[in-house]
Structure 1
């Protein structure tokens, strides 16, 4: 592969496409990218949230009250995470391999970055506004209790006025195995549409799209299962640099890239952290 054939803009776009396909926690429908824009490392995005607006009784021919001054609070999304990849392909290897070696290597770099970002987003369970179980008293989930536990998570979201549409829950394979033994989950999964399944999506139960991931965090052997609505977490990422060069002391093509990103829980009441054991 000649160095002149390397076009950074094309490779950067390809890397982002692979990255998005590989993510579970970081895909649309689990988080939102409402404030992404053109972010760079160290950027801060300030997000305003308007408070409740009062409604008064109206009496004909009677003046209404003074206008309410809007109130609210501000959240900040900081782009404070940065990861890089850096590899080379020896000219001899490139000549001997009857495959698109550099393309495959870039794809692997994308998956590696995706895994790191996925784990970062999975760690946002600590900011959930609702909990079921905790580190000292985790809840054991069985095929007989699985449905009720997920219903309880839905009730907490209902009480916080979180929309019932587009809710999700991300479980590890061990808990997915428990769900598969629940007749209620199996029947719900059969009735769900498979036309536009997200990455990792395995079914539906009690209004939640169920996704499975190996990046569900654990604490003292208990899983930190995150359920909620995509309004809760906002995420922004950018492939800031992608460069190709010829290493001075090698006959090889080398590539290095830098990805920057950040996430913020802006509506904590739209998340539930379930601390579960099997």
Structure 2
């Protein structure tokens, strides 16, 4: 649709941007291998080293032959590619006193980030069965009295898996956050209520997102874990400005490639909840 429909007698000097979700899933992954990708179809091979055996020393028997270390390898494949391609007609640009191309780039960049956010959120499926609370058949229905405790229970699962205390996270939907706000254990910190900062619960940084996976407003998948669990690699592969052959207009197209891999499934836990 041309922006002709938006040409009034007087043009505003401000663009009316759309409402945007808070994008948070990009904050809960690591990008340790991002510098090693080379476009769509690239594969990053990630090596892991097995545990080292600790023995009891006997000066008579000595320490024996050295242990040969075990290693394993997993592949992070850059198999996702998303693009944008939009144009602004010369006539429209001449009548506007705002930079429509720059505004379009802002919207396109957000759109790409939102797609990536949802992609990362989908990695809840990598969780081990024993690291789950509730499921699609019997989802938990939280209340203001239980929401806080359910997050603590997720933290306990991480504790039992020897997941490091630092860099832990949990991402909750808006309704669940609303239940936390009603719990005095959460609201005792005045900064939480004044700024909307979610803070931390049981050493987990708590994020709020409308991209929490769900099925028609039910079976929300609340993911808790450690930042090392999921590796993400992505790059803007190309951004080009050009003049379409059959139009008097300026156009911009861009391509982003990316991929992710859950390399430590034991470091994530998932709570399935329904609204009351």
Give the one of 241, 265, 270 matched to 2:267: 270
CA distance in 2 between partners of 1:205 and 1:22 (Å): 20
CA contact (8 A) 1:188 1:205 kept: no
- Contact 1:135–1:219 at 8 Å: present in 2 too? no
For 2:267 and 2:186, the matched residues in 1 are separated by 23
Q: Which runs of 4+ in 1 moved over 3 A?
A: 188-192
Q: Spell out, residue by residue over 1:210-246, the C-alpha distance to the aligned partner (whole angstroms, 9 max, x if none).
A: 1111110113611001111100000000111111111
Report the Cα distance in structure 2 between the residues aligned to 1:110 and 1:189, rounded to whole angstroms.
Answer: 35
**Change in 2 beyond 3 A, CA 1:72/1:219:** farther
1:26 partnered with 2:46: no
SS of 2:113's equivalent in the other structure is helix
Q: Hey, what does 2:234 align to over in structure 1? A: 237
Matching residue of 2:213: 217
TM-score for the superposition, normalised by structure 1: 0.85
The 5 Å alignment of 1:80-91 reads 80-91=79-90
- Structure 2 partner of 1:7: none
> Relative to structure 1, is the Cα distance of residues 268 and 189 closer, same or farther in structure 2, using a 3 angstrom cutoff?
farther
Structure 2: gaps of 5 or more residues:
1-20
C-alpha deviation, 1:100, in angstroms? 2.2
Say whether the 8 Å CA contact 1:85–1:109 is kept in structure 2.
Answer: yes
Unaligned runs of 5+ residues in structure 1 are 1-20, 195-199
The residue aligned with 1:8 is none
Q: TM-score, normalised by structure 2?
A: 0.85
Match of residue 133 from structure 1: 134
Write the mapping of 1:141-180 to structure 2, written as runs, cut at 5 A: 141-180=142-181
For 2:144 and 2:22, how far apart are their aligned partners in 1? 29
Computing the radius of gyration over CA atoms, which structure comes out larger, 1 or 2? Answer: 2
CA-atom RMSD in angstroms: 2.0
- Count of matched residue positions in the alignment of Structure 1 and Structure 2: 250
